[in-house]
Amino acid sequence: MAKLKINLQNPVWLSLGALFCCVLWGSAFPCVKIAYPLFKISDTGSQILFAGVRFFISGIITFIVGCILEKRILRVRKLSIPGIIRQGLLQTTIQYTCFHISLAYISSSESAIINASNVFISVIAAHFLLKNERLSWETIFGCIAGLAGVILINLTGILNGSFSFRGEGLMLAAAASYGISNVYLKKIVKQESPMAITSYQILFGSLLMIIIGICMGGRVQVYSLKAACLLLYLAALSAAAFSIWTLLLKYNPVGKVTMFAFSIPVFGVIMSGIFLGESVFSGVSQSLCKPPN
């Protein structure tokens, strides 16, 4: 039987793969909000520890699946280790420490919209860090227009004083960290297997979060089957999305892939409305949310 060959540079496969990743990432916003009361998480240390546990499981899943798919034990060359460490810091530790803390203070819908700014950051960073990806006037105009939209949506919160460092500020930091990590990922992805890069960077980054969370007195306990299933889903979605996204970046320019991240807030807002009953219009204008008890 002939094997199915997929050309990831084909616009159809690129679109399907990228949108699938964006659906998964969009679902993470309401899922993390739901997880906090299920795990009785209310302090920063526990939020970071929960993120670390989530991504450590994700890294293990990615490693096992990668070994099965590639029919070998995933290894990386010594030359790639500094790049993988940098990727783990940016794409996992910094991004998801900021992400999980921020979600305790702002709505899921607002988080998804702010997080979309990672697209502009990726495109601009690619211009300065990659030789073959230069900004055109059309791209510059698109970035300015898109960024203005994110600012406009959050303008009410800024004016009424509800804009906070721990809420909106940390979500912007998460977006910046992820945007820059996309560019650095492009620089190392041709040297190693995408599955190897993904698994090792997640494992390294998550171990740092676990250490930080424990040092801050964080605790994570599974109180129900529902909580366990939700944690497993959050881990699996990250494993799948990061693996596919890394593969797409290997064969396509950063801008062509990251442009699909504009759909993440759409999926995030829709799923926040379905599972949390949030409305994007009320979510962006509400005052600072208190952390869940």
Q: pLDDT, tens digit, for every residue of 269-282?
A: 889 889 988 765 55
User: pTM of the full predicted structure?
Assistant: 0.84
Give the Cα-Cα-Cα angle 106, 239, 11 (nearest 5 degrees). Answer: 95
The whole-angstrom separation of Cα 139 and Cα 144 is: 9
- Token duo for residue 105: 């203070």
- List the chain residues with pLDDT less than 70: 1-5, 127, 131, 133-163, 279-293
| Percent of the chain that is helix, strand, coil (3-state, to 5) | 75, 0, 25
H or E segment to which residue 57 belongs: helix 44-70
- Predicted pLDDT of residue 127: 67
Q: Exposed, middle or buried, 189 (CB in 10 Å: 0-12/13-18/19+)?
A: buried
CA distances from 194 to 66, 69, 74, 201, 268 (A): 9, 12, 10, 11, 26
Question: Sign of dihedral through CA atoms 133, 264, 288, 174?
Answer: negative
- Token duo for residue 30: 């309401």
pLDDT tens per residue across span 128-165: 777 676 666 666 666 666 666 655 655 555 434 466 88
Q: Is 92 left (phi over 0), alpha (psi -120 to 50) or beta?
A: alpha
pLDDT tens per residue across span 166-176: 888 999 899 99
